[in-house]
Amino acid sequence: MGEIAEIVRAHDRNRYLASLFVPEDQRQHILALYAFSVEITRIAGQVSEPKLAEIRLQWWLDALDGIYGGEGQSHPVAMALARAIKVGDLPRHALVNLARAHQFDFYSDPMPDQTALEAYLGETCSAVIKMSAMILDVDAALECDEACGLAGVVYGLSQIIDQLPRAQRLQQCFLPHDWLAQRGLLAKDIYEEGSEAGISVVLAELRALAQRRLAELRLVVWTIKPSVAAAFLHVAVAEPVLAKAQARGSAVLREGCDISQLRKQWVMWKAAKSELF
């Protein structure tokens, strides 16, 4: 297994498994994009304070400037990303916006509201799907823009719920502040025992939002051509993850709600062979 593939396999198993459905000649470029996303997402957990995280993020922003300026790269992920950018004609602003969106991860402030949350997921999860589709078939990618946006939100919401234990360790809060405030909660209260009733309602609202976006996605799934379907396959795990989250209730705060790799492989295979969602 190559170095780039190993980075994705170790830190983003869902997208790694989905990449196995990508034609071999395109897979390396998809994995390069996923590895870039991994490197940015991991920054918050690799440093002890936001200032250091900002320095690491700036390194990647400078690397993007170099790539688009035609400069050679020495970092293996940056080198692979440069090739993916050329193949998919990936826009600089999409990669920069993805990186900058993750500045939120460095701080303990809660997500302001639902609009901010969906915008964050649009710049991150949806953008990765869109750029993956561009690598696979740039013309087909133009026809499924709405599907990319909705799919990213559905997937991102499922991962926010599953990654609640990690968010606690990193002192992050992706739950909308206004939703918490309506229940008399602050970000610091989320993991307190006395907050279970209120946080259960907030989590139910988050699952309901994901289900609404999934229903909307199903209405436009016809815009996803077979040539770009692999860019969406990892989103197939969202529904069983959300179902497990509902079954666990507030226990997801401590345990998450991930599903087994075998089930992930099954739902992705099923999605690849029939309707996506």
Strand (E) or helix (H) holding 173:
strand 173-176
**How confident is residue 1, by pLDDT bands cut at 50, 70 and 90?**
low
Residue-level pLDDT at 193:
79
Task: Give the mean model confidence (pLDDT) for residues 53-61.
Answer: 97
Residue-level pLDDT at 198:
87
Q: What is the pTM of this model?
A: 0.96
* 48 has a pLDDT exceeding 70: yes
> What secondary structure letter does DSSP report for 225?
-
CA dihedral (225, 227, 233, 235) positive or negative: negative
Q: Name residue, tokens 């395109």.
A: 26
Strand (E) or helix (H) holding 105:
none
Backbone angles phi, psi at 21, to 5 degrees: -90, -5
Measure the CA–CA gap between 225 and 140, rounded to whole angstroms. Answer: 6
Ordered domains of the chain (ranges, CATH): 3-273 (1.10.600.10)
Measure the CA–CA gap between 29 and 27, rounded to whole angstroms. Answer: 5
Tens digits of per-residue pLDDT, 60-86?
Answer: 999 999 999 998 888 999 999 999 999
